[in-house]
A and B are shown apart, each in its own frame.
Chain A
Amino acid sequence: EPEVTQTPSHQVTQMGQEVILRCVPISNHLYFYWYRQILGQKVEFLVSFYNNEISEKSEIFDDQFSVERPDGSNFTLKIRSTKLEDSAMYFCASSATHGGVRFFGPGTRLTVL
């Protein structure tokens, strides 16, 4: 069964460093998303991406964040200068249609020290 994959599963970084979280969505899906979940809190929407551009973003997704689909398979989230409060689980998801069922990846746990 096709699935969304994410790497790494756990990333530890120093405050101020850049990190790139990687995702491989399901191959025939067209819509891609990033969400985050701070420990003990609810899941939050970050950004949606379609046709090689951001289609929607939340107020959390400021200039420190960027997304890219560098090739036909990967979808990345870059945080330029990490802060302590960026520590969270980051989930990538994809869907075949606009607003369709989301297929979530297993998540990347980001720890900023």
Chain B
Amino acid sequence: KNEVEQSPQNLTAQEGEFITINCSYSVGISALHWLQQHPGGGIVSLFMLSSGKKKHGRLIATINIQEKHSSLHITASHPRDSAVYICAVQIQGAQKLVFGQGTRLTINP
């Protein structure tokens, strides 16, 4: 069983739609990261959170530690948001990140 599971694996939506990507994990963590991977392969860190909610522009990330679940929301989605979104957890007491398989998001104009 994977320690980090994301859903959906693929998501296609129309421009302007509200997007939600989910991440569930089964291990004790000290933090959870949301990353964005562009078609060229580069990885950008979007959020690191250990509790509650964070917001940056049109992106919102939430985490529920008790339920071992996090969500990434994108409001007013735009074609430039098309990318792979990756959830990664930092194992408690370690520096290791364990990655989910990613969610491929495509926003059509």
- Determine if A102 and B33 form an interchain contact, defined as CB atoms under 8 angstroms apart: yes
Collect the chain A residues with CB atoms within 8 Å of residue B42's CB. 104, 106-107
Collect the chain B residues with CB atoms within 8 Å of residue A48's CB. 95-96
Per-residue interface assignment for chain A, residues 40 to 83, with 1 indicating a CB less than 8 Å from any chain B CB and 0 otherwise: 01111100100000011010000000000000000000000000
Total number of A-B contacts with CB less than 8 angstroms? 55
- Determine if A31 and B95 form an interchain contact, defined as CB atoms under 8 angstroms apart: yes
Q: How far is A56 from B99 in the complex, measured between Cα atoms in Å?
A: 16
A25 to chain B, nearest CB (A): 14
Which B16-36 residues have C-beta < 8 A from chain A?
30-31, 33, 35
Q: How far is A6 from B41 in the complex, measured between Cα atoms in Å?
A: 13
Closest to A45 in B: B96
User: Any chain A CB within 8 A of the CB of B72?
Assistant: no
Tally A residues with Cβ within 8 Å of B: 25
**Contact among A33, A89, A91, A109 for B95, CB-based, below 8 A:** A33
Tally B residues with Cβ within 8 Å of A: 23
Collect the chain B residues with CB atoms within 8 Å of residue A100's CB. 48
- Determine if A43 and B88 form an interchain contact, defined as CB atoms under 8 angstroms apart: yes
Which B62-99 residues have C-beta < 8 A from chain A?
86, 88, 90, 94-99
Q: How far is A31 from B90 in the complex, measured between Cα atoms in Å?
A: 14
- Determine if A42 and B48 form an interchain contact, defined as CB atoms under 8 angstroms apart: no
- Determine if A103 and B88 form an interchain contact, defined as CB atoms under 8 angstroms apart: no
Residues in chain B within 8 A of chain A (CB atoms): 30-31, 33, 35, 40-45, 48, 86, 88, 90, 94-102
- Known interface pairs A43-B88, A43-B97, A48-B96; 10 further A-B residue pairs with C-beta atoms within 8 A, sorted by A's residue number: A31-B95, A42-B99, A43-B43, A43-B86, A55-B95, A56-B95, A101-B33, A102-B97, A104-B45, A107-B43
Sampled A-B contacts (22; CB under 8 Å)? A33-B97, A43-B43, A43-B86, A43-B97, A44-B99, A45-B96, A55-B95, A56-B94, A56-B95, A91-B43, A98-B95, A99-B90, A99-B95, A101-B33, A101-B45, A101-B48, A102-B97, A103-B45, A104-B43, A104-B45, A106-B41, A107-B43
